[in-house]
Amino acid sequence: MKIAMVGSGYVGLVSGACFADFGHEVVCIDKDQAKIDRLHAGVMPIYEPGLEALVETNVKGGRLSFTTSLADGISGADAIFIAVGTPSRRGDGHADLTFVYEVAREVGENLAGDAVIVTKSTVPVGTGDEVERIIRDTGTRHRISVVSNPEFLREGAAIGDFKRPDRIVIGAEDDFGREVMREVYRPLYLNESPILFTSRRTSELIKYAANAFLATKITFINEMADLCEKVGANVQDVSRGIGMDNRIGSKFLHAGPGYGGSCFPKDTLALLKTAEDYDSPTRIVEAVVKVNDSRKRAMGRKVVDALGGVDAARGKKAALLGLTFKPNTDDMRDSPAIAVAQTLMDAGVAVAAYDPEGMEQARPLLPEVTMCDDPYAAIAGADVVVIVTEWDAFRALDLKRVKELANAPLLVDLRNIYNPDDMAAAGFTYLSVGRG
């Protein structure tokens, strides 16, 4: 199969490299010349474990190439994936579909043969209909089918998620679309990954429903964590106790500082907007968005309280370990660390920070934070150490050294990666989330 991937960002690049690894011939297209030049030189635009090696192998094998020319890239393609960004539109939270529609028009104008056009970007219900209309309006004489195929990749685990998916969802309205997509995913079919065929609108909604449900699960356990602290219960045991019920499931029940990233915050907002437009309110998701937003600053206040309250905290220093919204990514989008750092600085606390991959992206977002080269440099002289992101590098800190370097043995663990008894034994005042 020949596959064109329009948009060489996170989703496009990972999907393109994985499809190539399955043996398909893949061209990744992006109008950003600098990005394509870097890809030609083997430099990845994002940090994702395993991606660089995967790209290198498949470029060498002649199955993966890059271009800025959409016309060249889609020529002869059986399937053309649209994997460009859909940021939140300024002001109303709607997904901004400008790039998707631009690509659709350009694809229509440059089609040189029959093709299935696949929206892989997360797009609101009905976008596939509009993409089809735009392509048909270009007057193309070729047979097309517009299909929805949402991605469920997690940053940091994207290649594994792509190659061993829980399911593949394909929303197609005709046999041409279904048959081409079956071929595209045949290598996974052999792995017995289930393929769910649905209507196009259903497939578009599945993506939002999945992310909104996961965001709800996280927010639910975060509120249970707060309750645990009040009643003297342990949220990790609550998670285990409910997660062992197969109807609930154990995943995404880790309490923490609130969800962030490029997907959950944006997609929940976009779902709310769609629900409003169709006059079908989704009040649970509304509550999830509000609760999660206020949680991030509340975590900053938790640290201020640990320092003895607003008056005592002024002039003190906090060391933040981890800035990205989760480990194994350099992505800072909507990271809880931003709100935590801001709340601390608003209270007059000086903030030093270290993150294994996210510092470059964090710097412009947090210009007043002192960025350090390693965790211990951030900890030196700190009145409180705060674990914000659960990078492996923070799971086995040299606690003796932490105590020697810090001003006080006070550690706030927003990800529950340490054991309260061990920390007490090591002489720390240790606060975590939901372990009252």
CA atoms within 13 A on the CB side of 179: 7
Distance between CA 331 and CA 47 in Å, rounded?
8
Work out whether 120 is an interface residue with ligand UGA (CB under 6 A): no
Work out whether 22 is an interface residue with ligand UGA (CB under 6 A): no
Q: Is 263 a catalytic residue?
A: yes
How many residues belong to the site for ligand UGA (CB under 6 A)?
Answer: 21
Query: Could you tell me the smallest distance in angstroms from the CB atom of residue 428 to ligand UGA?
Result: 23
Which tokens in the block code for residue 145?
A: 């089918």
Distance between CA 280 and CA 301 in Å, rounded?
35
Work out whether 153 is an interface residue with ligand UGA (CB under 6 A): yes
Three-point CA angle 233, 235, 239, nearest 5°? 130
Query: Could you tell me the smallest distance in angstroms from the CB atom of residue 416 to ligand UGA?
Result: 10
With residues binned 3-state (H G I as helix, E B as strand, rest as coil), the percentages for the chain, rounded to 5, are 45, 15, 40
Distance between CA 137 and CA 105 in Å, rounded?
8
Stretch of 12-20, 248-256, 340-348, 394-402 lying at the interface with ligand UGA (CB under 6 A): 248-256
Work out whether 253 is an interface residue with ligand UGA (CB under 6 A): yes
Query: Could you tell me the smallest distance in angstroms from the CB atom of residue 122 to ligand UGA?
Result: 6
Stretch of 19-27, 31-39, 260-268, 293-301 lying at the interface with ligand UGA (CB under 6 A): 260-268
Q: Which of 176, 213, 252, 376 binds ligand UGA (CB under 6 A)?
A: 252
Residue 121 or 145: the one with the smaller Cβ distance to ligand UGA is 121
Q: Which of 244, 353, 223 is nearest to 291 (CA)?
A: 223
Residue 324 or 343: the one with the smaller Cβ distance to ligand UGA is 324
Work out whether 154 is an interface residue with ligand UGA (CB under 6 A): yes
DSSP state letters, 332-393: -TT-HHHHHHHHHHHTT-EEEEE-TTTHHHHHHH-TTSEE-SSHHHHHTT-SEEEE-S--GG
Per-residue contact string for residues 63-102; x = within reach of ligand UGA by CB under 6 A? ----------------------------------------
**Separation of first and last alpha carbons in the chain:** 56
Residue 317 or 415: the one with the smaller Cβ distance to ligand UGA is 415
Query: Could you tell me the smallest distance in angstroms from the CB atom of residue 406 to ligand UGA?
Result: 25
Residue 70, helix vs strand vs coil: helix
Site for ligand UGA in 287-326 (CB under 6 A): 325-326
155, amino acid identity: E
Work out whether 155 is an interface residue with ligand UGA (CB under 6 A): yes
CA atoms within 13 A on the CB side of 118: 33
Which tokens in the block code for residue 71?
A: 């016309």
Query: Could you tell me the smallest distance in angstroms from the CB atom of residue 23 to ligand UGA?
Result: 24
Work out whether 170 is an interface residue with ligand UGA (CB under 6 A): no
CB 123 within 8 A of CB 204: yes
Q: Which of 264, 391, 418, 430 binds ligand UGA (CB under 6 A)?
A: 264
Query: Could you tell me the smallest distance in angstroms from the CB atom of residue 151 to ligand UGA?
Result: 6
Residues 6 or more apart whose CB falls under 8 angstroms from that of 356 comprise: 391, 393
Distance between CA 178 and CA 198 in Å, rounded?
10
Q: Which of 185, 259, 418, 428 binds ligand UGA (CB under 6 A)?
A: 259
Q: Which of 18, 28, 228, 263 is catalytic?
A: 263
Query: Could you tell me the smallest distance in angstroms from the CB atom of residue 383 to ligand UGA?
Result: 26
Active site residues: 263
Contact residues toward ligand UGA (CB under 6 A) are 122, 151-155, 211, 214, 218, 252-254, 256, 259-261, 263-264, 267, 325-326
